[in-house]
Amino acid sequence: MTKSGWAHNKFWSLLAIVVGSSATMLWLFWHYPVSTGLATLAVLAAFAVLVRLAGAVDTENLSDPDPGEQGA
């Protein structure tokens, strides 16, 4: 398969996943609005906690101390 064909397949696969996910969320929200809303808020809160934790453990921006300098 050519690169162009592979890119088209990836695009259509991603589009199918997004449309399927959106349709599922809309159906759930239509039939179970309170439960779906609470679950959505719980997932967003979990993502917010994970973002804060990822920032707290990010070591890529830390620089090495100079050779004569001791780290804490």
36: Cβ–Cβ under 8 A, 6 or more apart, which residues? 25, 28, 29
Does the residue 29 lie in any domain?
A: yes
d(CA 59, CA 56): 8
Does residue 48 form part of some domain? Answer: yes
- pLDDT for residue 55: 82
Residue-range definition of the domain harbouring residue 45:
11-56
Residue 40, number of CB atoms within 10 A of its CB: 13
Q: Write out pLDDT tens, residues 24-69.
A: 999 999 999 999 999 999 999 999 999 999 888 877 666 655 566 5
63 within some domain? no
| Residue 38, domain member (yes or no) | yes
- The count of structural domains within the chain is 1
Enter the pTM of the model.
0.58
Residue 39 pLDDT: 95
User: Is residue 28 in a domain?
Assistant: yes
Residue 72 has pLDDT above 60, yes or no: no
28 and 36 Cβ atoms separated by less than 8 Å: yes
Q: What is the pLDDT of residue 42?
A: 98
